[in-house]
Amino acid sequence: AASMFFQLLSDVRWRTATAKWRRMTCSRRSTSSMAEPHPLPLPAQAQVVICGGGIMGTSVAYHLSKMGWKDVVLLEQGRLAAGTTRFCAGIVSTARHVSIELKMADYSNKLYQQLEQETGVKTGYVKTGSISLAQTQDRLISLKRIASSLNVMGIPCEIITPKQVAQLHPLINIHDLVGAMYVPEDALVSSASVSLALATTASRNGVQIHERTSVSHVSVQKGRVAGVETDRGQIQCQYFVNCAGQWAYELGHTVEEPVNIPLHACEHFYLLTHPLKEPLASTLPTIVDPDGRIYVRNWQGGILSGGFEKNPKPLFTEGRNQLEIQSLQEDWDHFEPLLSALLRRMPDLEALQIMQLVNCPESFTPDMRCIMGESPTVRGYFVLAGMNSAGISYGGGAGRYLAEWMVNGYPSENVWPLDLKRFGTLQSSRTFLRHRVMEVMPLMCDLKVPRWDFQTGRQLRTSPLYDRLDAQGARWMEKHGFERVKYFVPPGKDLLDLDQSKTFYKPDWFDIVGSEVKCCKEAVCVIDMSSFTKFEISSTGNQALESLQYLFSNDLDVPVGHVVHTGMLNEKGGYENDCSIARLSKRSFFMISPTDQQVHCWAWLKNRLPDDSNLTMEDVTWKYTALNLIGPRAVDVLSELSYAPVTPEHFPSLFCKEMSVGYANGIRVMSITHTGEPGFMLYIPIEYALHVYNEVMNMGQKYGIRNAGYYALRSLRIEKFFAFWGQDLDAFTTPMECGREFQVKLEKGMQFVGQEALLEQKQNGVYKRFTMFILEDHDTDMDLWPWWGEPIFRNGRYVGKTTSSAYSYTLERHVCLGFVQHFDEKTGEELVVTTDFINQGEYEIDIAGQRFQAKAKLYPFSSLFTHRRRKDEVELSDYQRE
């Protein structure tokens, strides 16, 4: 095996490295292999210590040093690029589903392309292009969606016919193909060399690299990183970057306050062969055959082929078993399905001689997206790991975003989908991770369809009503570990089983959700929304109000009993969180945020609230069950249960009252529904949950009450043009850009975070605008459904992407929400987006390459709903005040 590694690394030309690098190389060799007694001593202190000398660690070091942070030490327990990076297949592919991942891969590709010239280290970069094959129509749709995204990003990409595939690659059997996607600029590299090249530049810029040094402990003082302990001594530092790959989880636990990094390794196999009789050209495109679960690239005249099997083998569950990845066992029986797929795809390879089956563990995360960002508990502790076997594709971009994050305080793109804080401690059980990655790894090749839910690691957090709802036909999805109802399958009706229900078209629950929506519109529905994150912030004096006024953009100095919708903005005016805050008393506030904000929002507030023992913040998420009573008859149900007047005159919109419901006292009732429909949110201490639910259902019977789920809620809120944080809103979106100026009180008499940026926007105008689109010529039954991420075209030119979509049962049309930008026709420069610009365009939405006409709107259809507007006027009129 050892000789094999040598061959793998054969294009790493140590000798061609710069003189300085060679010196490092020599010293390394002498320190490691010859065990010279005096390796270079570690510095006593540094600004940044990076742990991990793989592609991630070197990329972070490279970018930090380029951005001017040069007091950086990189520690590697073995040798540089000797872990997963060394075994990596070296494919740089930009064909990604998530737009931030796509951007990272694109940047990486461009970075690697010029790296050899920049550093003088041969990286083996060859622009080969890649071809993703489709064996089914559904797969082709999936590829077309990616192609649309790539094209608007300016990355050349085309959908080609099987015949064209045959022209591009001589070995492929095209008989079972329906089409393919060709990305001509995708590339191959030697991943270890790329890593070494990045290290070379970093080292030239002053980064110190120490091999054979392992980190045993990260020390923390006052919630900040203070230093690291290694087997070769201590280093004081302000920043620590965990790039330890599959060991990142355990490294995270070597801190006094453990940093949970949810990832888990799985074995990953690929095959290397001897050269063909007529050696393959090094420019031959890489083939990805997701339906066969394999990828194939040319490798030294032969091929390198691996894949993502259905039955992965997780490993290292108990922890660190070895330092570097020794050669794990080859497992041919396990590889058999992939080998069959390979020979089916390239039958002529039968006679090709095997060189080796490489077993190279890769780390996977619970949601198939990588992990980056700062720990919510320890400031200055950064993480970049969990690449889900795309380390080379993401390496450059991910390293850059993390470096920006450290240097500037935030990266230049919205990386929330990758943020460590999207996870809580609940995702770091080893059992959970072991089970989940066994689902995630096969998913690499599975068809990615809308509204797909993970099946493992479920039923972790549940509402006290879970069993009751489940017995009534609830179908569940999961958010942040919490089970939430999608919809209720009526008795006697059965839906398709999971695998068959995967579709890009009209789903089988269409009518079920339709009837739930109808009930919300005409009678009353109950939706269990207990997963919402709930904080209580209170103080002895005015501290709570003062701090919140500073941290939130809306005016919170409202009379007791009022509910305020407000953004929690960053310095640039972008939404870190979008929440509803009820003023419970002069000195205490009840804050409702989206489910996945639990960690992020907590960390954000903790870091910014004054360190004052008179000011307390408590996470009460688990204390309350939330029932959303939506519909025109909600008021009747509630008044019968409480014997208190709850008509709009007595209980106008955006109010909060503590009242009794049935026998239960102290229920926090808020006249909001998060949908724009009339109704109430009931925050119920959990021990009363079942009682209140039963009472509501019993009393509601005569008003036609029924259960509903989140799909109905989504349809309602999207047709009412309600933006949701995490889908539509992110840290790069300001209230001005989504028509929520009314939720910002620039003149509330005191400064608040983001105020300057907003004032500037108010003066200069916005560069993107949240817009609602109604699809015009879209056939709900026959056409592909929009999802999110579809490109928006104005007068034939790309102007932005959608962020969410839903079928509106009221409009009987699809509604997409998204952002419109204004690019200068000649220079491509971003211009101010005006109302006129929005209103005076002809719009089209591109769904998997097919464009549908759409009507743009900046305001919701208020007229449509007038006949049932009762007490939601405040809520809605707020939006129209603008």
Partner 1 sequence: AIPVRSSRLPSLSDAMPAPAHLFPLIRNCEISRICSTACYCHHKHLCCLSSHFAHSHFRYAPQKKFAALYRPKENFNYFIHARDYASTPQRFYLTPPQVNSILKANEYSFKVPEFDGKNVSSVLGFDSNQLPANAPIEDRRSAATCLQTRGMLLGVFDGHAGCACAQAVSERLFYYIAVSLLPHETLLEIENAVESGRALLPILQWHKHPNDYFSKEASKLYFNSLRTYWQELIDLNSGETTDVKEALINAFKRLDNDISLEAQVGDPNSFLNYLVLRVAFSGATACVAHVDGVDLHIANTGDSRAMLGVQEEDGSWSAVNLSYDHNAQNEHEVERVKMEHPKSEEKSLVKQDRLLGLLMPFRAFGDVKFKWSIELQKRVVESGPDQLNDNEYTKFIPPNYHTPPYLTAEPEVIHHKLRPQDKFLVLATDGLWETMHRQDVARIVGEYLTGVHHQQPIAVGGYKVTLGQMHGLLTERRARISSVFEDQNAATHLIRHAVGNNEFGTVDHERLSKMLSLPEELARMYRDDITIIVVQFNSRVIGAYQNEEL
- Which range touches partner 1 (CB under 8 A), out of 131-139, 343-351, 547-555, 568-576? 343-351
Cβ-count burial of 637 within 10 angstroms (0-12 exposed, 13-18 middle, 19+ buried)?
buried
Give 42's DSSP letter: P
- The torsion region of residue 881 among left (phi > 0), alpha (psi -120 to 50) and beta comes to alpha
Angle made by CA atoms 93, 95, 98, in degrees to the nearest 5: 120
- Which range touches partner 1 (CB under 8 A), out of 51-59, 177-185, 354-362, 665-673? 354-362
Whether 791 contacts 821, CB under 8 Å:
no
- Which range touches partner 1 (CB under 8 A), out of 31-39, 351-359, 450-458, 733-741? 351-359
Residue 317 engages partner 1 in binding (rule: CB under 8 A): yes
Residue 426 engages partner 1 in binding (rule: CB under 8 A): no
Nearest distance in Å: CB 341, partner 1: 11
Nearer to partner 1, 212 or 334 (CB): 334
Nearer to partner 1, 430 or 691 (CB): 430
Residue 329 engages partner 1 in binding (rule: CB under 8 A): yes
Q: Which amino acid belongs to residue 720? A: K
| Close Cβ partners of 345 (under 8 Å, ≥ 6 residues apart) | 133, 172, 173, 287, 289, 292, 294, 296
What is the Cα–Cα distance from 730 to 723, expressed in whole angstroms?
10
Nearer to partner 1, 278 or 318 (CB): 318
Residue 850 engages partner 1 in binding (rule: CB under 8 A): no
- Which range touches partner 1 (CB under 8 A), out of 56-64, 339-347, 364-372, 801-809? 339-347
| Residues between 246 and 275 with contacts to partner 1, criterion CB under 8 A | 271, 273
SS3 43: coil
Nearest to 80 by CA among 205, 261, 213: 213
Residue 353 engages partner 1 in binding (rule: CB under 8 A): yes
Helix spans in 649-788 (H): 689-700, 710-719, 755-764
Applying CB under 8 A, among 336, 687, 756, 777 the residue interacting with partner 1 is: 336
Whether 666 contacts 689, CB under 8 Å:
no
Residue 135 engages partner 1 in binding (rule: CB under 8 A): no
What is the Cα–Cα distance from 384 to 769, expressed in whole angstroms?
32
Whether 323 contacts 347, CB under 8 Å:
no
| Close Cβ partners of 568 (under 8 Å, ≥ 6 residues apart) | 551, 552, 553, 575, 576, 577, 578, 579, 601, 604, 605
Residue 278 engages partner 1 in binding (rule: CB under 8 A): no
Nearest distance in Å: CB 129, partner 1: 24
Nearer to partner 1, 26 or 354 (CB): 354
Applying CB under 8 A, among 332, 622, 663, 859 the residue interacting with partner 1 is: 332
Give 761's DSSP letter: H
Nearer to partner 1, 330 or 873 (CB): 330
Residue 433 engages partner 1 in binding (rule: CB under 8 A): yes
State the DSSP H helix or E strand holding residue 512, giving kind and residue range, or none if neither.
helix 510-522
| Close Cβ partners of 92 (under 8 Å, ≥ 6 residues apart) | 105, 108, 109, 112, 186, 187, 188, 189, 392, 393
Residue 322 engages partner 1 in binding (rule: CB under 8 A): no
Applying CB under 8 A, among 342, 581, 617, 848 the residue interacting with partner 1 is: 342
Residue 171 engages partner 1 in binding (rule: CB under 8 A): no
Nearer to partner 1, 271 or 792 (CB): 271
Applying CB under 8 A, among 350, 747, 781, 812 the residue interacting with partner 1 is: 350
Residue 429 engages partner 1 in binding (rule: CB under 8 A): yes
What is the distance in angstroms between the CA of the first residue and the CA of the last residue of the chain?
A: 69
Applying CB under 8 A, among 253, 334, 475, 479 the residue interacting with partner 1 is: 334
Nearest distance in Å: CB 274, partner 1: 9
Applying CB under 8 A, among 19, 34, 351, 782 the residue interacting with partner 1 is: 351
- Which range touches partner 1 (CB under 8 A), out of 38-46, 59-67, 328-336, 485-493? 328-336
Nearest distance in Å: CB 350, partner 1: 3
* # binding residues, partner 1 (CB under 8 A): 30
Nearest to 88 by CA among 301, 428, 325, 280: 325
Residue 98 engages partner 1 in binding (rule: CB under 8 A): no
Helix spans in 120-247 (H): 137-152, 162-168, 191-204
Nearer to partner 1, 343 or 757 (CB): 343
Nearest distance in Å: CB 342, partner 1: 7
- Which range touches partner 1 (CB under 8 A), out of 127-135, 430-438, 787-795, 865-873? 430-438
| Close Cβ partners of 460 (under 8 Å, ≥ 6 residues apart) | 426, 432, 478, 481, 482, 483
Nearest distance in Å: CB 356, partner 1: 7
Residue 431 engages partner 1 in binding (rule: CB under 8 A): yes
Residue 333 engages partner 1 in binding (rule: CB under 8 A): yes
What is the Cα–Cα distance from 391 to 844, expressed in whole angstroms?
35
Nearest distance in Å: CB 335, partner 1: 8
What is the Cα–Cα distance from 851 to 791, expressed in whole angstroms?
9
- Which range touches partner 1 (CB under 8 A), out of 335-343, 460-468, 577-585, 642-650? 335-343
| Close Cβ partners of 168 (under 8 Å, ≥ 6 residues apart) | 129, 131, 160, 182, 285
Residue 356 engages partner 1 in binding (rule: CB under 8 A): yes
Residue 340 engages partner 1 in binding (rule: CB under 8 A): yes
- Which range touches partner 1 (CB under 8 A), out of 355-363, 414-422, 565-573, 754-762? 355-363
Cβ-count burial of 60 within 10 angstroms (0-12 exposed, 13-18 middle, 19+ buried)?
buried
What is the Cα–Cα distance from 879 to 860, expressed in whole angstroms?
9
- Which range touches partner 1 (CB under 8 A), out of 68-76, 347-355, 398-406, 806-814? 347-355
Q: Which x/- pattern, by CB under 8 A, does the window 382-421 give for partner 1? A: ----------------------------------------
What's the maximum distance between 2 C-alpha atoms anywhere in the chain? 88
Residue 600 engages partner 1 in binding (rule: CB under 8 A): no
Applying CB under 8 A, among 9, 168, 178, 357 the residue interacting with partner 1 is: 357
Nearer to partner 1, 429 or 862 (CB): 429
Residue 352 engages partner 1 in binding (rule: CB under 8 A): yes
Nearest distance in Å: CB 455, partner 1: 18
Applying CB under 8 A, among 127, 430, 468, 857 the residue interacting with partner 1 is: 430
Residue 349 engages partner 1 in binding (rule: CB under 8 A): yes
Nearest distance in Å: CB 333, partner 1: 6
Residue 354 engages partner 1 in binding (rule: CB under 8 A): yes
Nearest to 630 by CA among 674, 578, 694: 674
Three state DSSP letters for 460-498: CECCCCHHHHHHCCEEEEEECCEEEEEEECCCCCCCCCC
Whether 309 contacts 334, CB under 8 Å:
yes
Residue 2 engages partner 1 in binding (rule: CB under 8 A): no
| Phi, psi (rounded to 5 degrees) for 627 | -115, 130
Nearest distance in Å: CB 801, partner 1: 40
Residue 339 engages partner 1 in binding (rule: CB under 8 A): yes
Nearer to partner 1, 349 or 670 (CB): 349
What is the Cα–Cα distance from 808 to 865, expressed in whole angstroms?
13
Which parts of this chain interact with partner 1 (CB under 8 A)?
A: 271, 273, 317-318, 329-336, 339-340, 342-343, 349-357, 429-431, 433-434
